[in-house]
A and B are shown apart, each in its own frame.
Chain A
Amino acid sequence: MAASGDPVTVLAEPQVGPGPDPAALDKPRAIDPGRARVDRIFHGSARTVGGLVLVLIGSIGVFLGLQSIPTLRHYGWSFFTQSSWDPAFDKLGIAAVLVGTFEVALVAMVFAFPLALATAIYISDYAPARAKSTLVALVDLMAAVPSIVWGLWGFFLLEPRAIYVARWLNTYVGWLPFFHVDTDPRAAVWSQTRYTASAFIAGMAVAMMVLPMACAVMRGVFDLAPIGEREAALALGSTRWGVVRSVVLPFGRGGIVGGTMLALGRALGETISVVLIISPAFDIKFRPLEVGTETISALIAGRFGEATSSQLSALLTAGFVLFLITLVTNTIAATVVNRSRNGAATEI
């Protein structure tokens, strides 16, 4: 029974007839009224769309993986060690193609990394303040230039001039196996065709394609460097480069690595510039200055037309390997950026 000072009995007292059941009054009222009906429809349809998209694009990865099973069953591990691609003799392997892919990507990163870093530092520290937004827009515009334009640039404009650089490298540093080309560079009439269509020239075209991406990520990170630390360095008498070296670069380490890995992932998958420039050659050699190389994407673009179903399966396996490599590179990039000091503020 309720005590006389209990508010329930105080309120219930003036009533005539039996009051409300105290046990029912003690039950807690439900605070959460549940979701409104329009919200349940919204959540349901959003979940449906999300599931549909998940199925659509997830099935691509699953399909690629499933297609590689018959290929690997047929060729076994020799698929990864065989360097020649002779469908007529049933000898297929992506060893040389993998080496070529990494070669072109490595040359591209050697050119793209310092250029992207220099441009990012320039935009964040050296550029006049009024020009900054224009420069950022120009870098984004460079990222939007179609890849076929870079392929045309590399093939028609760059190649006739770059073969001289390749010959110079072969002449003076050709004793290093990396810079060697199998021809006499000091001959009176030197064979130009031995230096064309090489991984070096394709790498330069790919570098121009991927450097805006790396530059955008690096610049985004450099802009987040705390202004207080910059001003402190300047107040202590540092030069502009001193500020960059002591504040901006250590702060932006994660962004630099992340941007480079992202650019590397894109460089590994670049097709059209490579197809326009190189001439296919299936041998494992680490000589980017020499004519002839092949990448996985160029292989697919070149061979899909005349491929029978087993060769198509082999091409799909090669594409799946490329996708896995690119996926690993992008995941490492995202992890490095997320764990760094500027972490989740940057989107890559």
Chain B
Amino acid sequence: MRTRTADDLAALLGSAAASLAVVWVLFGQVLAWSGTLGFLVCWYLAFLGLYVVVTALSNPRHVVWARVAATWIHAGVAVVAAGLGTAVVYTFVQGAPALAHVNFFTQDMAGVGPTAPLSRGGILHAIVGSIIEIAIASAVSVPLGVATAVFMTEVGGRFSRIVRTVVEAMTALPSIVAGLFIYTTLIVSLHLPRTGFTAAMAISVMMLPIIARAADVALRVVPGGLREAGLALGASQWETVRRIVLPTARPGLATAVILGVARSVGETSPVLLTSGASTYFNANPFQDPMNSLPLFVFSSVRSGEPLYIQRGFGAASVLLAGVLVLFVITRLVARSSGVRRSRVRQRASSS
């Protein structure tokens, strides 16, 4: 027995078609309004009104309310999906002319003017800069963050509660304020030049509380019974943590770390203040400004030159693709460990 009858389906499709026709005539011709967004909003409202009337003809009142709520929920999901879809597709479509050239990935922008054609110049310096900065920031934040999480969950005590409060408070730090902090302390007060290192420090300031908190959540999911079993079998606490807790939490920790890195790759505000938008290739993080992907996108789309804007969209596409790849890796790590664990459980239950 199906819940949706043919009558329901006909009411839905008929209302949609009829409202589309009505709004088409009224919107463009009679009222002379303009704009795609307005058309869609008017169509949805007309559809809603018509659907309420049609449903009320043959259904009790609570069913009518349920249908109205269902249309609102489906419309909300459609708007969110449309937003995400158009953002991703638009970025790739606008960046496609730049991405089609191989020199986009192998050259840098040194000596290339803003009006130069797309066959010259590329974002190699930005890609390498992003990779180096994220590598340094991760090398600083990930060990510190995971060690802090281990401290907060395994050692415990009043001091760890203070640390946890401060870490959770600092996750609220806006990324621009983290950049401003590094700018004021390292660049203005200590007179360090604006290099890849200062940018990496700004990124790690932003990343450290996020990774500490996510790793803390991953470690807390490990059942306390496992820890107690290890201690009861005579292991020291360090052995329990090293051999039982950390391997059990490894997929959760890996997910937390990769997601933290993915979020930090796309953050523009820390690098905006602490590194310069240079045009030449630079692999030395301690000397000379180092460009990175978000900074390149930001400076190129504000330039106003159409070709340069296309390069900016190309760089944004590369950034988006990088985040997508990191995300897929996270899902694979999470899924592979889940499958392994359920297989172990099956084997244990069958024996």
Contacts and interface: CB of A to CB of B under 8 A. Distances in A.
B269 to A, nearest CB: 4
Contact of B180 (A36, A49, A315): A315
Interface in B152-175: 152, 154-155, 159-160, 162-163, 166-175
Contact of A312 (B169, B188, B265, B316): B188
Interface stretch (A73-81, A158-166, A175-183, A282-290): A158-166
A233 interface: no
Contacts of B10: none
Query: In which size bucket is the chain A interface?
Result: 35 or more
Interface string A220-249: 000000000000000000011110110000
A92 to B, nearest CB: 16
B83 interface: yes
A316 B184 contact: yes
A99 interface: no
A46 B144 CA distance: 10
A145 interface: yes
B323 to A, nearest CB: 5
A329 B172 contact: yes
A47 interface: yes
Interface in A115-138: 115, 117-119, 121-122, 126, 137-138
A212 B76 CA distance: 13
A53 B148 contact: yes
A156 to B, nearest CB: 7
Contacts of A56: 208
A56 B83 CA distance: 39
A152 interface: yes
Contacts of B302: 276
Interface stretch (A5-13, A19-27, A251-259, A296-304): A296-304
A331 B326 CA distance: 30
Given A61-B170, A64-B181, A319-B174, A42 B144 contact: no
Interface string A10-39: 000000000000000000000000011011
B66 A121 contact: no
Interface in B243-302: 259, 262-263, 265-269, 272-273, 294, 297-298, 301-302
Contacts of B173: 60, 323, 326
A152 B236 contact: no
30 contacts: A41-B238, A42-B241, A46-B155, A47-B159, A53-B208, A126-B70, A140-B327, A144-B323, A145-B88, A146-B320, A147-B267, A148-B298, A149-B87, A149-B88, A149-B91, A152-B312, A153-B86, A153-B90, A168-B38, A241-B69, A269-B177, A271-B269, A272-B272, A272-B294, A304-B180, A312-B184, A320-B177, A326-B173, A330-B168, A330-B171
